[in-house]
Structure 1
């Protein structure tokens, strides 16, 4: 079988979906770690921080050539994951199957495994909104307030986040996006390892625990950011 035939086959599409998904999961780890720097402003850490740690980290990510090149790869993987996801969803619906697996009956499925297309669509809208709010002003239009830390001048992305999250509707949309992310990860995490043949029965409970923990912790941390800024727990002074 030719490589082109393999990657256009059902198995090949699932493999691409799994590999791109695992890459995006690794990105989430980095992204949530960077964004968690906003919590350094909390009273029991450094209430005088005013987003200094976060802005410095964001400046490093935006000014480092290697990371900017990796951003291009990230967008490519996002597109691949989204396109393959919709292709598989259409194929699965036409075959009346469940998720990314062969149909096993109603007991072999969960509502979120059958709703990956819907959850993926919600995440796509959330991603577009997120890019419009933060990535475009930071990377494209550069219309953020400049801030200086010693000899370094950076964009005050922290201030932008606080301002955006004063709108309760935006906060609600972000929280809903994080909930969708959690359900998407809950199925996708285990499905990716199963497709790659790494879902050994001896370690199935470990994989489930890791997948569940990751699917709760990461979206929860993301959701706490707009919530904490809306209620003034994290703010600039």
Structure 2
């Protein structure tokens, strides 16, 4: 039982690492929308035409599914065993709010991801796959974030991702064995900095367009 639990944690960590890589790349691509319409359209074209990106999409999708499945299994397992989060050890009594609410944050992220896919993936990639006319990616961003309700939903979603990552980033390394007193504090600091950068970067985009700075 213990070995299977360790295996699940390792799978959870590896899938989480893929998702962190995706978050970073996705932010870099999306942030080009603030530079100019042309930059974002070129970046979007690159994402849709690059063979490596096309190969990575199903891998990332599978990683996300595995991450969710392992999260559910480990949450059930740990609630039966103890009330603390699966990555928090006894020698670290201070437990962050994010670590105690990783499952709830995951549910919020999943629910709002469906909204995000409906706003963008369904209007671009899905339409392209079906052979229909797809929306212009930049115009879609402008239209989506001109609505205050959409902006509010995205800000909540991004904050949930930020809190989730702030704990998940360092805990995935802990699950891989880097849990000594020397590296753990450093990893927690890096995780906090990374989560702030990701959260701030993603939030800037919808607010930028909501305030009307985007090109019509």
- Please report the TM-score for the alignment, with normalisation by the length of structure 1: 0.83
For 1:45, the equivalent position in structure 2 comes to none
Higher helix share: 2
Q: After TM superposition, give the deviation of residue 205 of structure 1 in Å.
A: 3.3
What secondary structure, in the 3-state scheme, does the structure 2 residue paired with 1:29 have?
A: helix
Matches within 5 A, 1:64-143: 64-101=50-87, 104=90, 107-142=93-128, 143=133
C-alpha distance 169-105 of structure 1, shift in aligned 2 (>3 A) = farther
Moved over 4 A (4+): none
Asked if the contact 2:87–2:174 (Cα under 8 Å) also holds between the matched residues in 1, the reply is: no
Q: What value does the CA root-mean-square deviation take over the aligned residues?
A: 2.0
1:224 Cα offset (Å): 1.0
Cα displacement (A) at 1:105: 9.3
2:215 is the alignment partner of 1:220: no
Q: Mark the runs of 5 or more structure 1 residues left unpaired by the alignment.
A: 42-50, 146-155
Secondary structure of residue in 2 paired with 1:98: coil
Within the alignment, does 1:144 sit opposite 2:134 as a pair?
Answer: yes
Alpha-carbon separation, structure 1, partners of 2:79 and 2:185: 29
Q: Hey, what does 1:60 align to over in structure 2?
A: 46
Q: State the 1:106 CA deviation.
A: 9.7
| Contact preservation (8 Å) 1:144, 1:160 | no
Report the CA distance shift for 1:167/1:102 in structure 2 as closer, same or farther (over 3 A).
closer
Note the C-alpha offset of 1:102. Answer: 6.0
- 3-state SS of 2:212 partner: coil
For 1:72 and 1:101, the matched residues in 2 are separated by: 28
**C-alpha contact (below 8 Å) 1:92/1:98 kept by paired residues:** yes
Paired residues, number: 212
TM-score by length of 2: 0.91
